[in-house]
Amino acid sequence: MFKGHPKGLYALALANTGERFGYYTMLAVFALFLRANFGLEAGVAGAIYSTFLGLVYFMPLIGGIMADKFGFGKMVTIGITIMFAGYLLLSLPLGGDTVAMIAMLGALLFISIGTGLFKGNLQVMVGNLYDDPKYADKRDSAFSLFYMAINIGALFAPTAAVQIKNWAETSLGFSGNDAYHFSFAVACAALIVSMAIYYIFRPTFRHVEGGKRQAAAVATEKELSPAETKQRVIALCLVFAVVIFFWMAFHQNGLTLTYFADEFTAKSSEGIQSMAFNVWNLVLIIVGVYALFSVFQSEGRKAKAASAAVVVGVVGYLVYKAMNVGNASIAVSAPIFQQFNPFYVVALTPVSLAIFGALAKKGKEPSAPRKIAYGMLVAAAGFAVMAIGSKGLLTPDAQAASNGEGALVSANWLISTYLVLTFAELLLSPMGISFVSKVAPPKLKGMMMGGWFVATAIGNALVSVGGFLWGGIPLTIVWSVFIVLCLLSALFMFVMMKRLENATK
C-alpha cells in the first residue's frame, strides 16, 4: 500500500495533515460559536458558515491561476503565512459586539485567501510527482493516501476542540464564549508544524514546485490540440457540476448534522457505545486495521509476526475494555460526532485500496467518473439513514419549544450516517482530485485544480440551504431534499459517462 511512491508524497501529505488539523479544530465548533457568541439564529449562522466554506474553496481558483504563472511552491509559502495571520486574529477573545464581528469576518477572509493559495497548489504538486511514467500507475492510490493523511488531522480535531475549550473554562476560568478562542488558537500551532515539515523535507519535492523550471518542462511536453484541450476542460466541468451537490450534502456535517447532534441526539452514552467517543479507542482500531493488512502484505516472516502480534494486542485490549466498561455514562457533546468521518476515512482507506487493487488486476476497476457516480448513490443512502432515524421526531422549532420534553435518539443514527457518507466520500473526493490532476491540460493544471475547489465552494455556499430548512419543516423532508439531489446527480453522471471516460484516453 505504501510501497513504490515517491518520498515527496509523504512530505506533502504530512504538511497538509497539520494544516487540516488546525482547520477542522476551528470548524468543529465554529457554527456553535457563532450562535453562542453573537446570538445568531440558525439560518444566519448557517449563512456565515457556508459563505466562509465557499470562500475557502473558491479562492484556490485564484491561487491556481497565480501558481500557473509564478510557481506552486511560492504560492504555498505565501498562503500558509496569510492563514496564520487569520487564525491568530480569530484566536483573540474580543467579545460579541460589532468590533468583534468585524474582526471575526476579517479573520475568515485571511483564512480563505491563505487556504486558496495553499490547498489546491499543494495537491497539484502531488499530482506532478506522478507525471513521471515510473509512478503514473499509482496516481489514484497516491491521492487516496494523501486524502487519508488529511483525515488523520481531522480525526483528532473535534476532540481537541472540545477538550481545549473545556480546559479553558474549567482550569483557566474563561467564560464559555471566550473559551472557544482557545480552540481556534490550536490552528496557529498546527500551521507552525506544517511549515516546519514543508521546509525540512522540501528537497524531496522541490522539482515539482513550479516556476521557471516547471514552465520549461511543460514547454517540452507534447502540445494538446485545441480540440483535445476543449474535450478535457468540458469533461472536468461536467464533473465539477456534479460535485457541487455532493459537497452541498456532505458538508451538512458541520451544520444540520451538528444541529441534529445538539438538539435531537442523546446527551450521554454508556456501555460499549461510550467507547466510540474516546478518540484513542478509534486510533487503536486504526492501528489494528493497518496491522492486519501488514500481516498479508509484509514480505518477511518477522514483519508478519510483529504485525500479527499488534492485531492480537489491539483486539485483546479493546475486548478487555469492553468487558470492564461498566454502566457509567459519559457526556456527549455535538462537535465530537465530527470525529467519526475522518476515523472512517483513515480506517477504510486500506480497504478501498485493496478492493480497487484487486479489481485492477482483473481489469475490472471502475473509471474515476464511474466511482464518482457510485459515490453520489451512496451519499443518497447516507441521508436515507437520517430520514429513517428522524421518523416521529418533532420539528426543530417544536423541539426547542418543548422545554426538554422532546424525544432524543440514539447516537448510533449519526454514527451510522457518517459511515455511509464516508463510503461515498472515498469514492468521490480522492478519485475526483486524481481525475483532475490526470486530465487537466498541462498549462492549466493550477486553474483546473482551482476549478475543482470552485465547485466545492459553490457546494459549500449551498450548505446554508440546510440551515434555512432547519426550523418548522419535518426532519424527514429536510433529509429527503439531499437524497433527491444526490440521486439526480448520479443519474446525470451515468448519462454523461461515455464523454467523461473518453477524456481520460
pLDDT score at 360: 83
Q: What is the pLDDT of residue 177?
A: 83
**CB contact at 8 A, 147 and 433:** yes
C-alpha to C-alpha distance for 471 and 397, rounded to whole angstroms? 5
Can you say how many angstroms the Cα of residue 423 is from the centroid of all Cα atoms in its chain?
Answer: 13
pLDDT in tens, 269-300: 998 999 999 888 999 999 999 999 889 888 78
- What CA–CA distances, in Å, run from 475 to 44, 267, 277, 346, 406? 19, 19, 25, 30, 14
For the CA atoms of 54, 57, 59, 61, the dihedral, rounded to the nearest 10 degrees, stands at -120
pLDDT exceeds 90 at position 112 = yes
Rounded to whole angstroms, how far apart are CA atoms 148 and 43?
A: 32
Report pLDDT for 220. 46
**Alpha-carbon separation of residue 203 from 172, 198, 232 (angstroms):** 43, 9, 32
The dihedral region occupied by 331, where left means phi > 0, alpha psi between -120 and 50, and beta the remainder, is beta
- In a domain? residue 282: no
240 by Cβ neighbours in 10 Å (0-12 / 13-18 / 19+) ranks as: buried
Domain that holds residue 198: 8-211+225-267+332-502
Q: What is the pLDDT of residue 83?
A: 93
User: Is residue 317 included in any domain, yes or no?
Assistant: no
Sequence-distant (6+) residues with CB within 8 A of 455 are 239, 240, 241, 243, 244, 247
180 neighbors 165 (Cβ within 8 angstroms): yes
CATH assignment of the domain containing 484:
1.20.1250.20
Q: Output the pLDDT for position 282.
A: 92
For residue 109, what pLDDT is reported?
Answer: 95
What are the residues whose beta carbons fall under 8 Å from the beta carbon of 56, sequence distance 6 or more?
Answer: 111, 112, 115, 116, 457, 460
pLDDT on residue 222: 59
Question: And the C-alpha cell for 260?
Answer: 441534529
DSSP 152-167: HHHHHHHHHHHHHHHH
Cβ neighbours for 388, distance < 8 A, ≥ 6 positions apart: none
Read off the pLDDT of residues 217-267 as tens digits, 9 standing for 90 and up: 544 455 778 888 888 999 999 999 998 999 999 989 888 999 999 999 999
Widest Cα–Cα separation across the chain: 70
- Element (DSSP H or E) covering residue 268: strand 268-270
Phi, psi (rounded to 5 degrees) for 503: -70, -20
Cα-based angle 433, 417, 464 (whole degrees, multiple of 5): 70
Q: Say whether pLDDT at 23 is over 60.
A: yes
Is residue 26 a contact partner of residue 191, using CB atoms and an 8 Å limit? no
Q: Would you say residue 216 has pLDDT above 60?
A: no
340's enclosing H/E stretch is helix 340-361
Q: Phi-psi bin for 210: left (phi > 0), alpha (psi -120 to 50), beta? A: left
155 pLDDT band, cuts 50/70/90, is confident
Kindly report, residue by residue over 55-100, the tens digit of the pLDDT: 887 898 899 889 888 888 899 999 999 999 999 999 988 888 899 9
- Extract the C-alpha cell encoding 208: 515539482
- Answering whether pTM is above 0.85, one says no
Q: Helices 139-170 and 98-129 sit at what angle, rounded to 10 degrees?
A: 150
Residue 33 falls inside a structural domain? yes
| pLDDT tens-digit series, residues 4-18 | 789 899 999 999 998
Report angle CA 80, 67, 74 to the nearest 5 degrees: 45
Task: Specify the residue for cell string 416521529.
Answer: 392
| DSSP-assigned letter for residue 76 | H
Residue 267 has what DSSP assignment?
A: S
43 alpha-carbon distance from chain centroid: 23
Summarize pLDDT for 402-448 with one digit per residue, the tens.
988 899 999 999 999 999 999 999 999 888 888 888 888 888 888 89
Rounded average pLDDT over 341-366: 88
Tell me the C-alpha distance between 330 and 283, whole Å. 19
Contact 15, 83 (CB under 8 A): no
Please give the angle made by the CA atoms of 348, 117 and 82, to the nearest 5 degrees.
Answer: 110
Per the rule left: phi > 0, alpha: psi between -120 and 50, beta: everything else, 146 is alpha
pLDDT of residue 505: 65
Q: Is 462 helix (H, G, I), strand (E, B) or coil?
A: coil
Please return the burial class of 362, using the count of CB atoms within 10 Å of its CB with bins 0-12, 13-18 and 19+: exposed
275 within domain boundaries: no
pLDDT of the residue at 377 = 96
Torsion of CA 9, 13, 15, 17, to 10 degrees: -170
Predicted confidence (pLDDT) at residue 198 exceeds the cutoff of 60: yes
- Which cell goes with 466? 440546510
d(CA 204, CA 328) in angstroms, rounded, equals: 50
> Is a pLDDT exceeding 70 seen at residue 47?
yes
Q: What percent of the chain has pLDDT over 90?
A: 42
> Cell triple for residue 5?
511512491
The pLDDT, as a whole number, for residue 187 is 86
| Tally of domains in the chain | 1
Whether the predicted pLDDT of 461 surpasses 90? no
**Under a CB-based contact definition with an 8 Å cutoff, are residues 69 and 218 in contact?**
no
Average pLDDT (381-389) is: 96
Given this model, what pLDDT does residue 344 score? Answer: 93
Q: pLDDT band for position 212 (50/70/90)? A: low
**Residues in contact with 452: Cβ distance below 8 Å, sequence separation at least 6, in sequence order:** 60, 120, 236, 240, 243, 432, 433, 436
